[in-house]
Each structure stands twice: as structure tokens, then as C-alpha cells.
Structure 1
Amino acid sequence: MTGLNTPITIVRPPVIEFGPGVVSRLAAWVKARNVRKALVVADGFNAARVDTLDLGVETVVFGEVRPEPDLPNLEKVLELAARSEADLIVGFGGGSAMDLAKLVSVMAGTGQRLQDIVGVGKAARRRVALAQVPTTSGTGSEAGIRALVTDPETQAKLAVESIEMLADIAIVDPALTMTVPPAVTAATGVDAMAHCVEAYTNKKAHPMIDLYALEGVKLVGRYLARAVKDGSDVEARAGLSLASLYGGFCLGPVNTAGGHALAYPLGTRWHIAHGAANALIFPHVLAFNLPAATEKTGHVLSALGLPEANAVQDVFGSTHDYCASLGIEMRLSKLGVPENDLETMADDAFAIRRLLDNNPRDLARTDILSIYRAAY
């Protein structure tokens, strides 16, 4: 764990509008920027309600964002961006839409290909404005400078990190999340929590981020069950939107760790939604990390309103039951993952060093395989 004597860099969108109804403020911002034409990047559901944004300018809509977007999905939206010549890109949806919007914003009109910018700090200076409007409470992508896209040939996630992908404005309107069904609310809520937990227990954990991380967990503990039970609970939706935003704050300077590394192959290989994958893996990795993060694990349990636990099996049991109580499927076998693929999944997860190297306790390939088998 790092301390106050460790330098850290934190970036935020220069404008963050937060609260029910703030989506109405986007039009004034667009007008002030003298935007001529907007390209909205969305999934099918949100493409059908683009009028909600009321941008006030000519708008082109790409409404084919896929869960766990891949290279062909990115290429398709880039083709539309080239034709539209928009000077504003709007990510409107969950993390997939916002990640594609980030990539389009730095690739459109620059001549850069994805392979040119994979890694850290390789993207050219952005030529267009970027606005992010989340409609789920999970990824916190609206606040960050990373984007992920899957290579269908290798089934690996390609990660791009650049300050050029930081949104000019983030519109975090909890009212836009009211239509999210209970199962997705639960899974994305646990994803937001996992961002916070993995940052809080991370080898790179920093006191400047810890306050966001722990508060994000508390917000999930306070509001997630309420939002799952009653999706029209505005306060609960707002609490989760804030938790998601705080999780996004954690991702830039600290990032996630073992939990996300183990969750990624579930999405890339078997197309399990990112939130559901993280929720299923979360109790296993939290319990595994207990010997290396005993005090902070206790803080996590307390923040979630769970009883104190000092043994690995007790940490696992209470967090597993918590996730299951939200209606989340906690068995890989029930999500269509074949048992004979666990070895390959372990290979894939073990190769994600950018995250595994952050984990407070070393996760050997044998440990990863054991977790997959226990989760099966």
C-alpha cells in the first residue's frame, strides 16, 4: 500500500453535472461551445431516446453499441464518424457506449489506428469535444481516461489510456437510470462497488483515493438493495450514480486488480455482462485477499453493513450471500460457461498483468483456476 508521501495524479472532467434532471443542462453547454454537429454513440435502447438529450444541434446517432464492444463495433462507428464530420461526440449509455465514444473522439480525423494508441499516453490531441452521459450506475467511465475494446481474434481486451479521452463534461443524471431493470441494477451496482473495493485494497492504494473508494462502498451498501427492490426510488438511484462516479475516480490513479482480471475472460470468451461477471467473482477475490488486506477488508464489510469476519470462509460467505440476495447468479455453470474452458480462462486471466500486479496478494495461475472451479 502507498502512503501520503507517494506522488499521485488525479484528473476529473472540468465540468460534472450531478443530480436528477441535470440532463437538461447539456443543451446550454452545447450552445456555449458553438457545436455545429453531434455524433451520439449509444446502444439500441438509448438510441431510441436520444431526444432526451435535447442537444439543439444537428445530431447523427450510432445506435449499435454492443455489450463488451469489439474491434468491428469500433470500426463501424468510426466509419460513421468520418462521414458525419461531427465536432461533438456524446457517449450515451453504459460503459460500452462511453468507452467507444472516448476512442472515436481521439481517432476520428487523426489518422491513428487502434494499434497505434493501445497503451498509455499514445493518443493524438483530440480535435472534437466529448460529452459523457451515463445511463447505468456501474462503470464510472464518464470520469475516466481509459477505454477497453475486445479483439475478437485473441479474445483479449485492448486497453487505451490517455488524458485526451477525458470528457469535457459529464452529465450524471440518476433519472436516466430509472428504466434499468433489477438484474442489471444489481450487477452494475456491484461492479461500481468492485471498482471501489479493488482500488481500496490495491497495492497502489492511496489516501487521496481511499476516501472516494470507501464512500463508494458505503453508498452501495446503503442504496443498492433499495434500488433493486424499487427502481423508481430516486434517492437510491442517486446514491448508486454517485457510487459509480466515485468508482470512476478510483480507476485513473489506482485502477482495479485481481477481481477484474478474473472477470474479463467471462465477458470476452462467453459474453457475460461485465457487471454480472464482476459480481460473481467479487466474493472469491475479496476472501482470497484477506490475509494481505485484513484491516481494509473489515472496513469493506462494515461499509456494506455486513458482520465482522476474520476468517476467509466467513468473508466469502457473507459477501456471496449479499450478492446472491440481490438476485445475481453466482455460478459459472448457470451462465453457460463450459467446465472444460476453465483452464483457458485461467490462462487468459493470468496474462492480464496490468491488473494482477496491483492485487494485494499474488494470484498464481493455480489460484485463479481454483477460484474459477469454486465459482463453477
Structure 2
Amino acid sequence: MTFDKVYQYNFPTTIRFGAGAIKELPAYLQANGLKRPLIVTDPTVAALPFFKAIVADLEAHSFSVEVFSDIHKNPVKSDVYKGTEVWDQTSRDSVIGVGGGAGLDVARAIVLRVNHREDLFKYDDLIGGDIYVTNDVPHFITVPTTSGTGSEVGRSAIISDDETHQKKILFSPKLMAKIVFADPVLTMDLPPHITAATGMDALTHNMEAFLAKNPHPLCDGIALEGIYLIKDALEKATHQSDLESRSKMLMASMMGAIAFQKGLGVVHSLAHPLSSLLDTHHGLANAVNIPYGMEFNIAGFEDKFRRIAKTLELKEESGEAVVKYLFELNTKLNIPHHLTDIGVKSEHIETLADLAFADFAHPNNPKPVTREDFKQLYLKAL
């Protein structure tokens, strides 16, 4: 695979992948009779030169472009409602999500809300709300700008309650993008700390998906290949960025999101409360917690960890070697080893444990996780 051309993959979304893929966006919109896109992104991306270039290119092709970027770092319901108001007031005909997890989650939730106007959390997948997603949805396009969540290929959006901070999952196959323009060039200017945090998010997705208890051999294979790509690329993408390392990370990120339809686990349940309660970057929260969560999972699943260690090409093929690798990788990426370094205090532990135990991810962990387990994992990581 060369890294200076555009490839097409269908899995099942059409993915246009490679350097320069974003240049195909105007022709795609024209071919589909779309003239008035709502571009949804976050405030940081909205200010970047590449984003302004995307908007300028569309406007130069006579598209009427409306940008909505008034969203939180960890999206909440009110963000979605505000974006839907912009849709209503400006008569849009399609939604383009541009960015990382936050921008793409809000974009996907707006896509849902356009023709589903009951309370947004009625559609929460954890209470069977997907059965109410019955109407058509607008034409939806995704453009990832980070290599972490893989939201561009997903079918769900994670949105928090403004008051309780509890995360909800909005899910439906209808929410899958019609097409993804995955251009690694758009990720080239990410600063090292964001590259590192989002890359560790992608690694967490692949590792947790591989370990998740639901049988899904297709996802297992994808997850292991994602782990392999990250092993080769993450450190280089962070410190000596080039097109090859950025391309590998973008592909591995999408693979992680495809694989985690199988489920996630204890690490995500440790990380989610940090984002909702303390506004911690999701990737950073995963990065700090992943060595501790993986260590918790070793006993009884030694064979799975041997396969992960073999994929990472570690000298010792064991779970303990995987945990050691994760701590060492965090060090190389300048990611701290302890929660106190990212603002967690001892008085937060009880609330974090409550939120983690209530989280949706850990029921798919390979072994059960109690509230006391979460408390002890936080204390160990503190």
C-alpha cells in the first residue's frame, strides 16, 4: 500500500481513504444533488486553516455552507438541540461532520434529531430506544481529523446529559455515514499531545474490542491488525510525523471503531466518568487508565493477552509484558502514569466509582467489574 494515492474501501460504509481524498467532496455533493450542507465541527477545528480551506473550496463551487461549532469538548444534549435549530433556521439538505469524536458525535446526533423530535434520550440504545429511530435521516458525510475515536465509520453517538453528566448512546444503522473522506493529510498538523491521546484511544478501542466477551471472530482479526498498525506508527506520528505514520494511525482508528461493535470494557468505564465529571480529554483518560484496566483483565484470559503480546512483537508473550509495554508507551508519548497528574483528587474517587459502575461499557468486559473493583482501580491509578 502506498500512501500518496486514494483508495476505496466498503465496510459497509464507502470509505475514500488517502492523501487528497478531501478534494473529492465538492464533486460528491454535486453528484448527489446536495447544495446546502450543514458542517458540524468543534470550535478548535473550526479555527484551523485546513477547515477554512474546506469551506472555501465548497463555496468556490457555489455551495451554500453553514457551519455549526458551538459544542462542548465532551458533547451534551443542549449542543445537539442548538445544532438542530441551526438546521431548521437555515434550510439545510445534508450534514457533514468534520473533526474528532466530539464533532462527529454531535453531527450524528443532529442527523438523528432532524426527523426525530421527541426527547433526544428517548433514543438511548441502552433502554432499547433504537426501535424509535423509524424516520428517514438527512444525507450524512464524515471527515475525520484525528486518529482516535473512529466515529466516522460508526453507527452511534455518545452524548452526555447536561445535568447528571451520564453518557447516553444514540444508535441506529441509519446513522452510518453514506461516505467517509478519510484524508490523513488533515491529521498532519495535530499537536503531539493530541496525536498521543487520540492514538491511545484508538489502541484502547482495538485492545478492548479484542478482549470483549461477545464472540465475533471478524472483529478480533480487525482489532489485532489495528494493534499492529498502532505499534508501528503511534510514536512516530507523535514525534516525527510523516504521511505513512499518519495514514497507519487513521486506518487503525477506523479499524478500532469497526471492531468495538463487539463491545468495550473496563478501561472505557474508568475513562468516561473522567470526561463527564472533570472534562478530561477522552483519549487521555483512556491512556492513563489502560495499563491498570489491562492488568485487571489478565487472570483467566492469559491466552488472549499472549496473542496481543505476539501482535506487539514483545519478547515475552504475556499479559504482564503487555502492561509493561503500555506504561513504557505512555512514557514515550509524554502521557502521565497517574490520575493525580490529570486533575483527579482523592475526594473524586467515590463519585467516579459510582459513575463507572453505571457506565455502559463494562458489561462487555471479559470478566465482571464491581463498584469496589472500580474504586480500587482508581485508587491504584491515583
**Of the candidates 121, 130, 139, which is equivalent to residue 115 of structure 1?**
121
- Classify the secondary structure of the residue corresponding to 2:148: coil
Residue 247 (structure 2) pairs with residue 238 (structure 1): yes
Partner of 2:205: 195
The one-letter amino acid of 2:247's match is A
**Of the candidates 144, 148, 160, which is equivalent to residue 134 of structure 1?**
144
Partner of 1:6: none
Partner of 1:65: 71
Partner of 2:260: 251
- Contact conserved, 1:44 with 1:64, CA < 8 A, in 2? yes
How far did 1:309 drift? 5.1
- Contact conserved, 2:306 with 2:319, CA < 8 A, in 1? no
Residue 275 (structure 2) pairs with residue 267 (structure 1): yes
The aligned runs of 1:293-304 (5 Å cut-off) are 293-304=301-312
Q: Distance in 2 between matches of 1:37 and 1:52?
A: 14
Q: Distance in 2 between matches of 1:14 and 1:358?
A: 25
Structure having greater relative contact order (Cα 8 Å, sep ≥ 6) = 1
Partner of 1:284: 292
How far did 1:181 drift? 0.7
**Of the candidates 51, 54, 57, which is equivalent to residue 53 of structure 2?**
51
The unaligned stretches of length 5 or more in structure 1 are 1-10
- Contact conserved, 1:199 with 1:205, CA < 8 A, in 2? no
- Classify the secondary structure of the residue corresponding to 2:377: helix
**Of the candidates 213, 223, 229, which is equivalent to residue 223 of structure 2?**
213
The C-alpha deviation readout for 1:329-348, integer Å capped at 9, x for no partner, is 22111111121111110111
The C-alpha deviation readout for 1:166-220, integer Å capped at 9, x for no partner, is 1001111100001111111111111111111111011014111111100000011
The C-alpha deviation readout for 1:218-237, integer Å capped at 9, x for no partner, is 01100001111113x11000
The C-alpha deviation readout for 1:247-268, integer Å capped at 9, x for no partner, is 111133x121111111100100
The aligned runs of 1:127-166 (5 Å cut-off) are 127-166=137-176
Q: Distance in 1 between matches of 2:285 and 2:21?
A: 31
Residue 366 (structure 2) pairs with residue 369 (structure 1): no
How far did 1:51 drift? 2.9
- Classify the secondary structure of the residue corresponding to 2:235: helix
1:311–1:255 distance in 2 versus 1, CA, 3 Å? closer
- Classify the secondary structure of the residue corresponding to 2:66: strand
Q: Distance in 2 between matches of 1:144 and 1:31?
A: 25
Residue 335 (structure 2) pairs with residue 317 (structure 1): no
- Classify the secondary structure of the residue corresponding to 2:299: helix
Moved more, 234-243 or 197-206: 197-206
Work out the percentage of aligned pairs sharing the same amino acid: 33
Q: Distance in 2 between matches of 1:111 and 1:156?
A: 21
The unaligned stretches of length 5 or more in structure 2 are 1-9
User: TM-score, with normalisation over the residues of structure 1?
Assistant: 0.92
- Contact conserved, 1:13 with 1:170, CA < 8 A, in 2? no
- Contact conserved, 1:202 with 1:257, CA < 8 A, in 2? yes
How far did 1:290 drift? 0.7
Partner of 1:77: 83
Partner of 1:344: 351
Q: Distance in 1 between matches of 2:310 and 2:186?
A: 30
Q: Distance in 2 between matches of 1:360 and 1:274?
A: 22
How far did 1:364 drift? 1.5
Residue correspondences, number: 362
Q: Distance in 2 between matches of 1:216 and 1:14?
A: 18
Q: Distance in 2 between matches of 1:125 and 1:325?
A: 48
- Contact conserved, 1:223 with 1:239, CA < 8 A, in 2? yes
Q: Distance in 2 between matches of 1:12 and 1:311?
A: 31
Superposition misfits of 4+ residues, deviation over 6 angstroms: none
Partner of 2:316: 308
Partner of 1:37: 36
The C-alpha deviation readout for 1:322-372, integer Å capped at 9, x for no partner, is 2222111221111111211111101110112x3211111111211111110
Q: Distance in 1 between matches of 2:116 and 2:319?
A: 53
Q: Distance in 2 between matches of 1:124 and 1:371?
A: 41
The one-letter amino acid of 1:322's match is L
How far did 1:116 drift? 2.3
- Contact conserved, 1:92 with 1:133, CA < 8 A, in 2? yes
The C-alpha deviation readout for 1:53-74, integer Å capped at 9, x for no partner, is 5333110001223211112222
The C-alpha deviation readout for 1:246-297, integer Å capped at 9, x for no partner, is 0111133x12111111110010001110000001111111111111321121
The C-alpha deviation readout for 1:69-95, integer Å capped at 9, x for no partner, is 112222221211111221110100001
- Classify the secondary structure of the residue corresponding to 1:67: coil
